Amino acid sequence: MFFKFFKNLSKSLTLLFIFVATPSLNADWFALNMTRGTTEISNEVFELHMLIFWICVVIGLLVFSVMFYSMWAHTKKKNPVPATFHENHKLEIAWTIIPFLILIAMAVPASKTLVKIYDDEAGDINIQVTGYQWKWQYRYLEDDVSFFANLSTDLDEIYNLVPKGENYLQEVDEMVVIPVGKKVRFLITANDVIHSWWMPAFAIKQDAIPGFVNTAWTVVDNPGIYRGKCTELCGKNHGFMPIVVKVVEQDEYDEWVFNKRQEAIKLAELTTKDWSTAELMERGQTVYEVNCVACHQTEGQGISGIFPALAGSEIALYEKDRHIEILMEGVQGAAMNSFDYLSEVELAAVITYSRQAWGNAEAGDGEIVIPKDIVDYKEPKI
Amino acid sequence: MSAVIENHHDDHHHGPAEGITRWLFTTNHKDIGTLYLWFSFVMFLIGGAMAMVIRAELFQPGMQIVEPEFYNQMITLHGLIMIFGGVMPAFVGLANWLVPMQIGAPDMALPRMNNLSFWILPFAFFILLSSLFMEGGAPNFGWTFYAPLSTTYAPPSVTFFIFSVHIMGASSIMGAINVVVTIMNMRAPGVGLMKMPLFVWSWLITAYLLIAVMPVLAGAVTMMLMDIHFGTSFFNAAGGGDPVLFQHIFWFFGHPEVYIMILPAFGIVSHIIETFSRKQLFGYSSMVWAMLSIAILSFVVWAHHMFTVGLPLAAEIFFMWATMLIAVPTGVKVFNWVATMFRGSITFETPMLFAIAFVVLFTIGGLSGLMLAIVPADFQYHDTYFVVAHFHYVLVPGAIFSIMAAVYYWIPKWTGNMYDERLGKLHFWLSFIGVNVTFFPQHFIGLAGMPRRYPDYALQFADWNMVSSVGAFLFGFSQLLFLFIVLKTVMGGKKATDQVWEGARGLEWSVASPAPYHTFSTPPKIN
């Protein structure tokens, strides 16, 4: 009965397997090993990995072959009278000393590479990387450029409503751009919980820890787009905050920096513009979908017990000043952090949006917030 | 496992009480051992069901079955339940059954505390599991509960989690004290320290580790409690605290904890390999010294779990070298097992199959551990599925296979009945194939770059994740067969002899099968 059951089970599992495996054409049966990466360090790390891997394979094969030989040759049938030895000092000393020597042979090159990785000199370009739930902020310290990188994969792809794209979960709305051949140093920290910034192609993995600044550096010689991920559990969207670095030639990099600065100037001009409610709402929805939706959800309903609802909330209905204050300062002891890093326009838009959407405008006082309100809030208070 | 024969040659004026009070009020080491073993099996099935949810969600890219929020609760509870509810109580159950019988003692030294240390456990896990139904859900910060995700950013149920960990810790400490006191004071005359069976040795060392580190864990969760409710900032950077301090404290507990879950397995496997090779264990004293070295080294390697937190270079190098050093005594143990089998007279009953699989698969897990010790390479492995593959290789075909081997090996002594050898072998092969199909591909997934604790993943990881899930379902459902085999053996079967296994050595085989309710009321004579 049991055998039949398992036979049927395996048959249906096989069918299921064929059924679901066929359409996943992008998948890769040959993604078996670490990749070499693209930098000198990542190549050294790869060599170390292969060295220790082969040493382990050889040790494993030696041990297992003796064991399997015994299992074959020393069965009760073939060897009815067991031997009686139960110690051998020479052998025991040998198999203590030899592994010790092998370990030293592995630890020495590993330590050498590690010393190289721990080079603390400042880079040609220094980028502060800050982990947020659940996005990365990049600030170019010399070039005065700053932006957030959010996952750009569509929710419909994640929930299987449309086919998944080639870079599913590995694409962002804004890539980190660095030039070839320059020493780039990353200063890695976090704003809320611990994250970890991992770029396999550069062999960099550094935890981003609130209150600490960790450093890592790289020199990349090959232009291209490199993809990495967050590798420290940081809450519910831990799997959805990828890292994408675009390495370009120096002149392309200079042009990119120039354009980013122009954008910033344009954005500053927007602060003084006269905004209509509809314009604020439109922009606010975009800001909301990028920054707020993970916790407060699409209909502002929140998640019971952890993330408060915005739809129908007293603050969103009646307390405009408190509403601004929460976004600027965060809520002490709760998951809500300050969003003062958003622009005045973005803040005004998103507050207006959450005071107007989901029936809040009708249920409450419907007051909107304009960029000037945020500027006023930021004025030094007496 | 609970069958008890009352009128026996080794008889006494009192047997077990009748009905439920037998189990509630028992101070008998065999009853308490049975309780622990059944409890751990129930937890194994609950934790296993959660693993099935995890693997079902990871069967394909995209979110299908659960939301990321619930997925994080599953990985957290799966880890906590398997470690604190599955593996640890199973070993305590085995210690209860076997330590007194192996050293010729009538019972554990502190029988009432023994009862208490078991009966608080169900409450601990009731509290932990009830958090699933609380507003905001169960703990969702991983079994390692790194602050501040587990403090400032935790769901309200974290307080229940803290209380539950305290109870588990109290239970473990009491259990450990009991084992130490029993072994130190109640050995039959002639059972010197270096004559103790290796399972007893392994548990003596494990018990000291438990006494040393469980209070550290209690300290860590108490600091969390203070941070959450009483305004302190131990781990809150905004208040001048240090989130990395949490990890140091946690892993100072956590690494010895890893050996708490593997040392008793070393003891079990040594007995089984010796028995079915019909040859005395090779290198008894080096086995003892190896376990002692592993235990001592376990206190100075904790930061190898934290190579990416930004430790200074000197610390990275120290912890790398210290960690690699552990491979030496561990290697000695593996070589000794192989040397025991060499020129033995081997048969392959179910316990032996599990023990051999233990040696092979634990060695694979140990070798990948060696790879993880290489700091520059660890920057690529850390927190990927390579780590998941590594620790599941040492915990599932390591710790859990050893527990299954122990059950098959000693169940004839516990129940007086032989288990069904054909079904036992079937269970072994299903588990062996299942475990490897589940966890071997996770090495590939990890090296290819998939981080752990991800509810969803990029497309290049799809194929091997699917294979891994199929293996997990096979392994998971095979354990129902184990339940069936154990129940069948408890209820009847071919009668076991007192000796049970031709090559078995040790005092427990000198008493009747099933072992009478009270054994060694007068100390045995040791030759």
B6 counts as catalytic: no
For B453, what's the count of Cα atoms within 13 Å in the CB-facing half-sphere? 29
Contact B341 A2 (CB under 8 A): no
The pLDDT, as a whole number, for residue B311 is 95
What letter does residue B85 receive in the DSSP assignment? I
- CATH 1.10.287.90 assigned to domain A40-117? The reply is yes
CA pair distance A377, A342, nearest whole angstrom: 14
Where do the domains of chain A lie? 40-117, 125-267, 272-378
pTM of the model: 0.89
A107 at interface of B, judged by CB pairs closer than 8 A = yes
> What's the fold here for domain B26-510?
Cytochrome C Oxidase; Chain A (1.20.210)
Residue A16 pLDDT exceeds 70 = no
Can you give the pLDDT at residue B11? 47
Catalytic residue at B469?
no
Interface of B with A in 100-119 (CB under 8 A): none
pLDDT for residue A359: 87
| Catalytic residue selected from B71, B201, B251, B259 | B259
A21: pLDDT strictly greater than 80: no
CB atoms B62 and A164 under 8 Å: yes
Largest pairwise CA distance in chain B: 70
CATH superfamily of A125-267: Cupredoxins -  blue copper proteins (2.60.40.420)
- Asked whether the predicted pLDDT for residue A1 surpasses 50, the reply is no
- Among A26, A158, A305, select the one facing B62 at the smallest CB separation: A158
Cβ-defined contact of A74 to B461 (cutoff 8 Å): no
Q: Is B390 a catalytic residue?
A: no
Residue B295: count other Cβ atoms within 10 Å of its Cβ.
21
| Amino acid of residue A380 | P
Average pLDDT over residues A41-68: 95
Task: Let me know how long chain B is.
Answer: 527
Q: Which band of pLDDT confidence, cut at 50, 70 and 90, is reported for residue A258?
A: very high
CATH fold for the domain made of A272-378: Cytochrome Bc1 Complex; Chain D, domain 2 (1.10.760)
Assess B242–A contact: CB distance below 8 Å, yes or no. yes
> SS3 of A207, please?
strand
- Give me the percent of chain A exceeding a pLDDT of 90: 57
- The tokens of A10 are what? 């395996």
* Chain B (507-526) residues lying within 8 Å, Cβ to Cβ, of chain A: none
Left if phi > 0, otherwise alpha if psi is -120 to 50, otherwise beta: which for A300? left
Q: Give me the pLDDT at residue B15, please.
A: 75
Which pLDDT score is estimated for B1? 42
> Which of A151, A195, A152, A200 is closest to A31 using CA atoms?
A200
Strand intervals (E) in B4-74 = none
The per-residue pLDDT for A278 is 87
- DSSP class of residue A37? -
Residues in chain B closer than 8 A to A160 (CB atoms)? 62-64
B429 touches chain A (CB under 8 A): no
Cα→Cα distances A374→A314, A321, B310, B325, Å = 20, 10, 37, 59
Tell me how far apart the alpha carbons of residues B476 and B344 are, in angstroms, rounded to a whole number.
34
A161: which 2 tokens? Answer: 């409503």
| First-residue to last-residue Cα distance in chain B | 30
pLDDT (0 to 100) of residue B6: 47
Whether the CB-CB separation of B50 and B77 falls below 8 Å is answered with yes
Overall average pLDDT of the A358-371 stretch = 86
In chain B, count H helices and then E strands.
Answer: 19, 0
pLDDT at res. B258: 94
Contact A60 B59 (CB under 8 A): no
Interatomic CA distance for residues A17 and A9, integer angstroms: 12
pLDDT of residue A8: 55
DSSP 3-state percent helix, strand, coil across chain A (nearest 5)? 45, 15, 35
Share of chain A above pLDDT 70, in %: 92
Does residue A206 belong to the interface with chain B, where contact is any CB pair within 8 Å?
yes
pLDDT score of A222: 95
CA distance A200 to B230: 41
* Token pair belonging to B114: 């023994």
> What is the complex's ipTM, to 2 decimals?
0.91
Between CA A295 and CA A237 the distance in angstroms is 10
Q: How confident is the model at residue A2 (pLDDT cuts 50, 70, 90)?
A: very low
Mean pLDDT, range A285-312, rounded to an integer: 87
> Which pLDDT score is estimated for A10?
57
**Is B509 designated active site?**
no
| A31 contacts on B by Cβ (under 8 Å) | 444-445, 448, 460-461, 463-464
**Which DSSP category does B104 fall into?**
T
With beta carbons under 8 A apart, name residues in chain A contacting B384.
231
Q: B304, B382, B390, B413: which is the annotated catalytic residue?
A: B304
d(CA B419, CA B408): 7
**pLDDT score, position A272:** 77
Q: Which stretches in chain B have pLDDT values below 50?
A: 1-8, 10-12
With beta carbons under 8 A apart, name residues in chain B contacting A334.
152
Stretch A167-191: mean pLDDT: 95
Instruction: Give the start-to-end residue ranges of the domains of chain B.
Output: 26-510
- Is the CA virtual torsion A343, A347, A350, A353 positive or negative? negative
Would the pLDDT of A336 be above 90? Answer: no
Q: Residue A11: its pLDDT value, please?
A: 56
Instruction: Compute φ and ψ for B73, nearest 5 degrees.
Output: -65, -35
Q: Chain B partners of A158 at a C-beta cutoff of 8 Å?
A: 62-63, 456
Q: 10 Å Cβ neighbour count for A38?
A: 21
- In the residue annotation, B452 being an active-site residue is answered as yes
**Count of Cβ atoms closer than 10 Å to residue B382 Cβ:** 26
Of how many residues is chain A composed? 382
Residue of B31, B57, B257, B508 marked catalytic: B257
Is B304 considered catalytic here? yes
pLDDT in tens, B149-185: 999 999 999 999 999 999 999 999 999 999 999 999 9
Strand A183-190 relative to strand A135-140, pairing = unpaired
Residue A176 Cα distances to A171, A181, B101, angstroms: 12, 16, 66
pLDDT above 90 (res A265): no
- Whose tokens are 């030293």? That residue is A104
| Catalytic residue status for B298 | no
Give the pLDDT confidence of B448-468 residue by residue, as tens digits.
999 999 999 999 999 999 999
Count other C-beta atoms under 10 Å from residue B408's C-beta. 27
Q: What residues have CB less than 8 Å from A291, skipping those under 6 apart?
A: A135, A339, A342, A350
Tokens of A39: 């930098």
The closest of A244, A247, A246 to A171, measured between CA atoms, is A244
For residue A380, name the pLDDT band (cuts at 50, 70, 90).
low
Quick one: which of B335, B332, B343 has its CA closest to B291? B332
Summarised one tens digit per residue, pLDDT across range A97-145 is: 999 999 999 999 999 999 999 987 888 999 999 999 999 999 999 988 9
Of B499, B316, B82, B466, nearest in space to A117 by CA? B316
Give all strands (DSSP E) within A209-322, no chain letters: 214-219, 224-230, 243-248
